[in-house]
Amino acid sequence: MILGKKVRLKPTEEQEHQLWKSAGTARWAYNWALEQQEKNYAKGGKFFSDNELRKELTQLKQTEEFSWLYDVSNNITKQAIKDACDAYRKFFRKLADKPNFKSRKKSKPSFYNDVGKLKVKAGIVLIEKVGWIKSSEQLPIGVNYTNPRVLFDGKYWYLSLGIEQEQSTDPLTNEVIGIDVGVKELVVCSNGMIFKNINKSRVVKKLEKRLRRLQRKVSRKYELNKEGSRFIKTFNIIKVEKQLRILHRRLKGIRNNHNHQATNAIVKTKPCKVVMETLNIKGMMKNRHLSKAIAQQKLYDFKSKLQYKCERQGIELVEADKWFPSSRLCSDCGAIKQDLKLSDRVYTCECGLAIDRDINAAINLSRYELVV
């Protein structure tokens, strides 16, 4: 199986300038390819293949107007065009939404580095037309890399790539773990493990409060520097926006780390099977009272992390049917409580059972294949 690896890069000032140039060129090539597809579609033409657009771009590079494209690696523009064509193709096959043009302000700066040109030595990596850059962590040498991407997260530059790894052969127990995810707690497991909602912690609440203050501050500055219908971006606005980016980055890191810790703890118990409920994130986000809390929980991120970690350990991951009444089913007598409300945090049954609602759901999920 292929696992992702992300390593921080430590470029010099000159190298960082070249990294920004490469990222900007990749964004331009992606938007250019998307524009050609849009124009062609408006005329009623057929879909352009990435090979056709690559040939057209090669001819453009011969002109003086686009000679600056030679300043970066040819593989960057090739892959950016391929990415745009793939996104447009998925849209036509109704596998994804219509792709948007990449904005300099909102899109994440990134570009592709050819696998064959990626070289790794002790503490350094070779990026095309940038040079040898120091890395904060040693990448494994002598292994196959896939899809290397260089990206900027708002503070640091990173190299992200896939590394092929063998599946673990460690023996597993006969335990089946049911996990119930939610807003009150991130995860409640049938074996008694509970992982709290990190957004209710003191650290995150403090950062969220500071985030709101900075957002109000930058909004006021924009209003003060408004000229007619146009907003003027001053150096003070740029400074506050940088603080906002770093704050968003820190909050994202805290939530991401919490999901990693929770999934690691579940997988380390070595169960033979993990059963979780099917998550209808899109449907849950329609609840305007809970949408923000659900978005902050990063439930889809939790699920994706659990999936690849279970696969690496050879653990079977089962998603229960979305109509399975895990919360309304009594884990003792099997009766279904039809009038259970979302506000009912304790499940009480006529058989005398009184148990926490989430623990009851987790126990039912652990017996999913026996009940269905």
Q: What is the pLDDT of residue 97?
A: 86
Each residue's pLDDT, cut to its tens digit, for the chain (372 residues) gives 888 899 999 999 999 999 999 999 999 999 999 999 999 888 887 788 899 999 999 999 999 999 999 999 999 999 999 999 999 899 888 888 889 999 988 899 999 999 999 999 999 999 999 999 999 999 998 888 999 999 999 899 999 999 988 887 788 999 999 999 988 999 999 999 999 999 999 999 999 999 999 999 999 999 999 888 888 889 999 999 999 999 999 999 999 999 999 999 999 999 999 999 888 888 888 888 889 999 999 999 999 999 999 999 999 999 998 888 888 898 888 888 888 887 888 888 888 888 998 999 999 999 988 655
Q: Could you count the other beta carbons within 10 Å of the beta carbon of residue 326?
A: 24
3-state SS of 342-359? CCCCEEECCCCCEEEHHH
CA distance 212 to 205: 11
pLDDT (0 to 100) of residue 369 = 80
**What pLDDT was estimated at residue 371?**
59
How many other C-beta atoms are found inside a 10 Å radius of the C-beta of residue 238? Answer: 10
Q: How far apart are CA 341 and CA 357, in angstroms?
A: 10
Give the pLDDT of residue 370. 66
Look at residue 271 in the predicted model and tell me its pLDDT: 95
Give the CA dihedral 268, 175, 370, 345, nearest 10 degrees: -60
DSSP assignment letter at 174: S
- DSSP three-state, residue 317: strand
* Cβ neighbours, 10 Å, residue 12: 12
Nearest CA among 324, 201, 181, 172 for reference residue 263 = 181
> How many of the other CB atoms lie within 10 Å of CB of 325?
15
Residue 270 CA, chain-centre distance (Å), reads 26
How is 106-170 classified by DSSP, letter by letter?
TSPPEEE--TTT-EEETTEEEETTTEEEEESSPPPSSS-EEEEEEEE-SS-EEEEEEEE-PPP--
**Distance from C-alpha of 348 to C-alpha of 233, rounded to nearest angstrom:** 58
Crossing angle of helices 50-61/74-92, nearest 10°?
140
What is the Cα–Cα distance from 112 to 52, expressed in whole angstroms? 20
